[in-house]
Amino acid sequence: MGSTLPEIPQSEFFSRLDAAAVEPLSEGAAEKLWLHYRELRRWNPTLSLVGPGTAGEVVERHYGEALGGLALVPPGARNAVDVGSGAGFPGFVVAACRPDIEVTLVEANARKWAFLEAACRRAALPCRCLNARVQTPLPEGLPEVMDLLTARALKLDAIVAALEPRLGKQGRIVFWGGGEGFSAPRGWRIARQISVAGSLRRRTLELVRE
């Protein structure tokens, strides 16, 4: 069983989002994140999408961390694949704040995938949600050519190896959760990085081909 997330008034949620964001949020993006939080709060007691240790700082720890990495999202990206989407961080946040990017959310756990479907419907986000595992051969439904791969706190090597043929020459990886000792997958290097606010260790990284 998961924990019950705090009931946060909409005005407080918006003000905390603004404080955590590194760039101005549009009214539409903030509204979609608010609707996501309402859905997250409804599902969390049964799915434990957000652990009890971060429930009290859910806006800053989860939404804020995802928002902080948006500065590394390439401005020309047309599509993105978010692997291991879980509670929607960072994929849902990218989709809400970058409506010009077609985002595919990939989640292997069927119940978490159902949550993502419900959250996207509630927020009227046109994301494609795939209940699949990224491995060779690749599941159906992924873009044939990818501009951007995003992930948070996953082991990247096998995922990148499977998806690399579809990442164009200018394709990028933005990884939320690179800590001390992080090693880029073979053939990739760290181009830029951002320290996560409030943490001495967590970083968000942009990876490019060597």
- The pTM assigned to this predicted structure is 0.96
The interaxial angle of helices 27-47 and 10-20, nearest 10 deg, is 110
Amino acid identity, position 39: E
* Residue whose pair of structure tokens reads 């959760």 in the numeric block: 177
pLDDT of residue 2: 84
Tokens describing residue 34: 């608010």
No. of H helices and E strands in the chain? 7, 7
**How do residues 40-61 score in pLDDT, each as one tens digit?**
999 999 999 999 988 889 999 9
Domains and CATH numbers, the chain: 10-209 (3.40.50.150)
Please state, in angstroms and rounded to a whole number, the distance separating the CA atoms of residues 91 and 169. 22
pLDDT of 130 higher than 90: yes
The pairing of beta strand 188-195 with beta strand 203-209: antiparallel
Q: How long is the chain?
A: 210
Check pLDDT > 80 for residue 21: yes
Q: What is the pLDDT of residue 200?
A: 62
